[in-house]
C-alpha cells in the first residue's frame, strides 16, 4: 500500500536512491551530496510516496502557491511505475496550490510522451540558461 505525505522530511540518501531507482539520476547531480541536500532544503513543496518505510516516489517543487509552480523533480522507482503514483504525486502537488497556479516542468527525454496523456500542454517558448553561461 502506498502512503503519500506532504512536506515530510526526506533524507538526501533517500532522495538520491529514488532518483537512481527511477533513472532520473542520469540528469541530476547525485554524486554532489551538498547540492542534493540543498535541493531538498530549498524546495517549498515536497510530496512523497512511501511503501512501508521506503521512499518510492517524489514530486519536488518550488512555488509561490499563487501564480506558478516549477515541478523540478518527478520520480517514481521503476518497480512502482505504472501504478498511478506519478499521477497522484502531481494531483497532490496541484491540490496544494492556489486555483490560478500553473504547474510547469521540464520533461525527461523518456517521459515526453507521458505528459500530454495526463493533460499537460507543450510550451515551445521555454528557455534555459545553463550554469557557466552568462547573460551578454
Nearest to 27 by CA among 86, 81, 107, 85: 107
pLDDT at 8: 96
Write out the chain's pLDDT in tens, 136 residues.
Answer: 999 999 999 999 999 999 999 988 888 999 999 999 999 999 999 999 999 999 999 999 999 999 999 999 999 999 999 999 999 999 999 999 999 999 999 988 888 888 999 999 999 898 888 889 999 8
Task: For residue 116, count CB atoms less than 10 angstroms from its CB and return exposed for 0-12, middle for 13-18, buried for 19 or more.
Answer: exposed
pLDDT at 17: 96
What pTM value is reported for the model? Answer: 0.93
φ, ψ dihedrals at 40, nearest 5°: -75, -45
Q: Which CATH architecture has domain 2-117?
A: 3-Layer(aba) Sandwich (3.40)
pLDDT at 69: 97
Domain boundaries, the chain: 2-117
pLDDT at 40: 96
Long-range interactions of 39-45: CB distance < 8 A, separation 24+: 39/15, 39/72, 39/73, 40/10, 40/12, 40/15, 43/72, 45/6, 45/7, 45/69, 45/93, 45/96, 45/97
Amino acid at each position: 500500500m502506498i502512503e503519500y505525505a506532504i512536506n515530510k522530511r526526506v533524507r538526501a540518501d533517500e532522495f538520491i536512491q529514488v532518483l537512481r531507482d527511477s533513472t532520473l539520476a542520469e540528469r541530476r547531480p547525485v554524486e554532489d551530496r551538498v547540492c542534493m541536500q540543498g535541493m531538498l532544503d530549498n524546495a517549498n513543496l515536497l510530496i512523497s510516496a512511501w511503501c512501508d518505510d521506503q521512499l518510492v516516489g517524489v514530486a519536488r517543487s518550488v512555488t509561490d502557491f499563487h501564480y506558478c509552480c516549477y515541478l523540478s523533480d518527478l520520480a517514481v522507482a521503476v518497480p512502482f511505475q505504472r501504478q498511478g503514483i506519478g499521477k497522484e504525486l502531481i494531483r497532490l502537488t496541484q491540490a496544494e496550490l492556489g486555483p490560478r497556479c500553473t504547474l510547469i516542468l521540464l520533461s525527461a527525454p523518456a517521459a515526453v510522451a507521458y505528459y500530454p496523456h495526463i493533460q499537460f500542454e507543450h510550451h515551445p517558448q521555454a528557455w534555459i540558461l545553463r550554469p557557466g553561461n552568462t547573460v551578454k
